Structure 1
């Protein structure tokens, strides 16, 4: 689709969308949805071109990427998130990065996430250093009656809405005689494709999973709100089940499995070996040693992004990381966000990075006055999108400030 066509087709909310769906999702989103960030930090680091003078503002989510930005020796990272569970997880990661005695302990917490020792580390090294609301979250008791920090004993990556959904798909796979975890044993890209065909694709070709893909309520389990569902449906031409299957296939087949922690979480429900590349960037031992002394540069704020920016000085921010938040927003809210981005962006060195579930770039729908000092690097979108190992997004977009 050309730029002209994109500009002429700004998204409008579907009139038939039920307020019940929005209310239901908002209730579900109050808990732990994502145990890890589902945007590839290697793509972020390339696109953002971070430097030691840069101040970064990002949406926090589970905190993996904000910690990864410290590898570039940035001056400051300010992350915002309105989800209290995600803030609690992010703060736990940052505090552990500062406080636990060594990489092995840090990795056991967030790489393995399944050891009684993790609870002892929390009590001995972390609890006393957490803000009161965060300590109340992890020391508080969930629906099972166990302290929430106990998730790191029983298997952290089996908890949270998205990871419980992944577990459900594995149970469905076994009923069909399929074993998705076999895929991570592949020794070549060709073997990955073969194992995808035998142990993954059949699960997503059933009438049940196709019906699931057509349901707003079912896709809430993936952390997909009603507005983003509509973007996906638009990009799929109404055939959302085929789109989801293609993205699962890309995750399984387009990247070496030994280098893809996102694929390991989906197909094996864990990360790869600690000495390999199928673990999050911030958890790699060589990265840990670099970012650990810089952990204090990361700040977390319990406020919506637009509100946070409205309180910042003009020209004070170099990099903005929006994740896929614009997919969730109305056109008026997107415009309000970009108004604050334009005001707070450094006049000579600013970049904005974001993902979209659909093919179109929402920057092109903005009023002309909000786009005037920015350049959309649509020429880079295909390469960034293809490089993102999560395989979730239809577009990874970079916008640069110009004079």
Structure 2
């Protein structure tokens, strides 16, 4: 696949958290025991979440070998340590717990890995979840606000009514400098601190304005105190309830996860190429994160038709759009794609992480049918 991601340095952890929600993953793919699931590895969250559905096999793939190394560390912890060590090393219990967890983890790591991660945690004492290039950038926003505005932002996770929450946001928080500072912090120039600027080559929208409008919409439709991604976006791993964590990091699923680990294979490579190679012909479900954000619309169409040629193998794919609208039906679309319209629209309206534009599900069983998907509508007052 011709992707701008192939042109950036893959020498550090770019993502220490998977921002594509597990509930969206589950509803989009309906993972069954007979499935071989391909997942873009990233920080490993959704590869582990897929394992919890007990499929036949999960393959986690990533171009970045450092992301694969991160997933390997999590697998080692799950296999050889109790849940408290994983919780500690993630940073969910504070820096002191990270240090204590590392002391236990270091005893079981092979020497080469031990040296690498020892140096890593010296630089990142808050733990894994906040260590990615994107995550350190996102969670740095709150501290740029005046203390009084920070306190107002924190109030957003104290409401029990969406109507009261939204009224507070529009009447109190928007009366401050919050909107202006949010848009400026997340505009294309500053956003490159979290993602390489080359990854915005095909962006159709301005980051700051688009993300702010999506945030505003979310605040008008759901209680953000119960939204893991909202809370982490603004406050990091601070005071996160166990019940809001991705399923793979919750204590109640730990033993099942450990039992399912032998089904997981890690591959360093490109997801689309894997799907098209002999080893990938066995894949029946695939979660492709937002990898099409980094390709042209022409390249996306080429890939989609390659994967979903009429009479091809059974395949269901979910992917997320951020600042592009890949998969939209336009006059330039040569052939309608096999979009599961009902599921895609439903997931786009309920996506847990507010900053995504929409979610698309493609299914080979729909190849040749007339499929139309409407993009997520953002209402403004």
TM range, smaller chain? 0.7 to 0.9
Does residue 104 (structure 1) correspond to residue 84 (structure 2)? The answer is yes
Tell whether the 8 Å contact from 1:70 to 1:294 is kept in structure 2 after alignment: yes
- Out of 92, 113, 121, the position equivalent to 2:104 is 121
Tell whether the 8 Å contact from 1:58 to 1:66 is kept in structure 2 after alignment: yes
Does residue 162 (structure 1) correspond to residue 134 (structure 2)? The answer is yes
Counterparts of residues 77-88 of structure 1 (less than 5 Å): 77-88=58-69
Tell whether the 8 Å contact from 2:339 to 2:361 is kept in structure 1 after alignment: yes
Tell whether the 8 Å contact from 1:196 to 1:253 is kept in structure 2 after alignment: no
- Out of 114, 117, 136, the position equivalent to 1:138 is 117
The structure-2 alpha-carbon separation of the partners of 1:209 and 1:363, relative to structure 1 and needing over 3 Å to count, comes to closer
Report how far residue 44 of structure 1 moved. Answer: 0.6
Structure 2: runs of 5 or more not aligned: 368-381
Tell whether the 8 Å contact from 2:121 to 2:127 is kept in structure 1 after alignment: no
Q: Paired residues, what number?
A: 356
Q: Provide the C-alpha distance between the structure 1 equivalents of 2:77 and 2:140, rounded to a whole number of angstroms.
A: 30
TM-score (normalised: structure 2): 0.80
Tell whether the 8 Å contact from 1:34 to 1:163 is kept in structure 2 after alignment: yes
Report how far residue 359 of structure 1 moved. Answer: 6.5
Tell whether the 8 Å contact from 2:156 to 2:169 is kept in structure 1 after alignment: yes
Report how far residue 281 of structure 1 moved. Answer: 1.8
The structure-2 alpha-carbon separation of the partners of 1:92 and 1:211, relative to structure 1 and needing over 3 Å to count, comes to same
Tell whether the 8 Å contact from 2:38 to 2:60 is kept in structure 1 after alignment: yes
Report how far residue 357 of structure 1 moved. Answer: 2.0
Q: Secondary structure at the match of 1:112?
A: coil
Tell whether the 8 Å contact from 1:172 to 1:203 is kept in structure 2 after alignment: no
Q: Provide the C-alpha distance between the structure 2 equivalents of 1:50 and 1:24, rounded to a whole number of angstroms.
A: 30
Tell whether the 8 Å contact from 1:137 to 1:148 is kept in structure 2 after alignment: yes
Tell whether the 8 Å contact from 2:17 to 2:132 is kept in structure 1 after alignment: no
- Out of 46, 57, 60, the position equivalent to 2:27 is 46
Q: Secondary structure at the match of 2:59?
A: strand
Tell whether the 8 Å contact from 2:283 to 2:315 is kept in structure 1 after alignment: yes
Deviation digits for residues 6-37 of structure 1 (CA, Å, limit 9, x no counterpart): xxxxxxx9xxxxxxxx799824x642222210
Report how far residue 64 of structure 1 moved. Answer: 0.4
> Hey, what does 2:352 align to over in structure 1?
389
Tell whether the 8 Å contact from 2:143 to 2:150 is kept in structure 1 after alignment: no
Q: Provide the C-alpha distance between the structure 1 equivalents of 2:197 and 2:301, rounded to a whole number of angstroms.
A: 20
Does residue 192 (structure 1) correspond to residue 192 (structure 2)? The answer is no
Report how far residue 377 of structure 1 moved. Answer: 1.3
The structure-2 alpha-carbon separation of the partners of 1:231 and 1:315, relative to structure 1 and needing over 3 Å to count, comes to same
Report how far residue 240 of structure 1 moved. Answer: 5.0
Counterparts of residues 3-402 of structure 1 (less than 5 Å): 26-27=8-9, 30-100=11-81, 102-110=82-90, 111-112=92-93, 114=95, 115=97, 116-125=99-108, 127-128=109-110, 137-139=116-118, 147-150=119-122, 153-174=125-146, 177-179=149-151, 180-197=153-170, 198-199=172-173, 202-206=176-180, 209-215=182-188, 217-223=189-195, 225-226=197-198, 228=200, 230-233=202-205, 240-270=207-237, 272-275=239-242, 277-313=243-279, 315-331=281-297, 333-335=299-301, 337-338=303-304, 341-342=307-308, 347=313, 349-358=314-323, 360-362=325-327, 368=335, 375-402=338-365
Tell whether the 8 Å contact from 1:257 to 1:264 is kept in structure 2 after alignment: yes
Q: Provide the C-alpha distance between the structure 1 equivalents of 2:262 and 2:316, rounded to a whole number of angstroms.
A: 23
Of stretches 178-187 and 382-391 in structure 1, the one that deviates more from structure 2 is: 178-187
> Hey, what does 1:9 align to over in structure 2?
none
Q: Secondary structure at the match of 1:33?
A: coil
Structure 1: runs of 5 or more not aligned: 1-12, 14-21, 140-146, 234-238
Q: Secondary structure at the match of 1:221?
A: coil
Q: Provide the C-alpha distance between the structure 1 equivalents of 2:196 and 2:352, rounded to a whole number of angstroms.
A: 19
Q: In angstroms, what is the RMSD of aligned CA positions?
A: 3.3
Of stretches 54-63 and 251-260 in structure 1, the one that deviates more from structure 2 is: 251-260
Tell whether the 8 Å contact from 1:113 to 1:153 is kept in structure 2 after alignment: no
The structure-2 alpha-carbon separation of the partners of 1:307 and 1:188, relative to structure 1 and needing over 3 Å to count, comes to same
